[in-house]
């Protein structure tokens, strides 16, 4: 009986659907003066574009200059600049131009999916932590 229950539980976890998120791409735009983010969740970007709070885009996709010591990434301040929605992409233009041959990174916070108990139990999400990916690009 215990083996059957264990097999059934393992089967349920193996068959659970995994949310498919589109990959986020960074493309240089405007002759390298701006970068474009493609592949962001349309529902999130359209909702944020209606918000008038200053700096709201930096909560989703902040852009940073890569420090020489990459262990210090978490302590960098986001680059100031202007975000705008263009078709299905978000375009970021920094206040000061990108430096040639300098590495930068974008921290993409993944807000999709609810914070339910199963996500926390399975280790997909932690209380108080939003998962993110760092996307590195060189100008």
- What H or E segment, with its residue span, contains residue 28? strand 25-29
30-55 average pLDDT score:
80
Q: How many CB atoms lie within 10 A of CB 90?
A: 21
Query: What strands lie across the sheet with 81-86, from one edge to the other?
Result: 25-29, 34-38, 89-94, 81-86
pLDDT (average), residues 67-81: 92
Domain definitions of the chain by residue range? 22-138
Give pLDDT, residue 45: 76
Q: Domain 22-138's class?
A: mainly beta
What is the pLDDT, as a whole number, of residue 103? 94
* Per-residue CA distances from 10 to 14, 59, 63 (Å): 6, 37, 40
Q: Which of 66, 74, 58, 72 is nearest to 108 (CA)?
A: 58
Please give the Cα distance from 73 to 54 (Å, whole number).
23
pLDDT at 139: 78
| H/E element, 27 | strand 25-29
Enumerate the β-bridge partners of residue 106. 63, 135
Q: Which two tokens stand for residue 51?
A: 């918000």
pTM of the model: 0.69
Q: Answer for the pair 89, 34: CB distance below 8 angstroms, yes or no.
A: no
Instruction: State yes or no: pLDDT of 1 exceeds 70.
Output: no
Instruction: Give the mean pLDDT of 120-139.
Output: 68
């Amino acid at each position: 009986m215990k083996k059957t229950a264990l097999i059934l539980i393992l089967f349920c976890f193996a068959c659970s659907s995994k949310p498919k998120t589109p990959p986020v791409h960074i493309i240089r735009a405007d002759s390298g003066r701006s970068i474009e983010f493609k592949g962001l969740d349309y529902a999130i970007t359209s909702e944020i574009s209606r918000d008038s709070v200053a700096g709201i885009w930096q909560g989703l996709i902040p852009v940073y200059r890569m420090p020489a010591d990459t262990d210090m990434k978490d302590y960098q301040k986001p680059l100031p600049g202007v975000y705008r929605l263009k078709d299905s992409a978000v375009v970021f233009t920094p206040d000061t131009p990108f430096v040639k041959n300098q590495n930068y990174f974008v921290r993409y916070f993944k807000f999709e999916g609810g914070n339910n108990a199963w996500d926390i139990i399975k280790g997909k999400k932690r209380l108080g932590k939003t998962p993110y990916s760092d996307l590195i690009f060189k100008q």
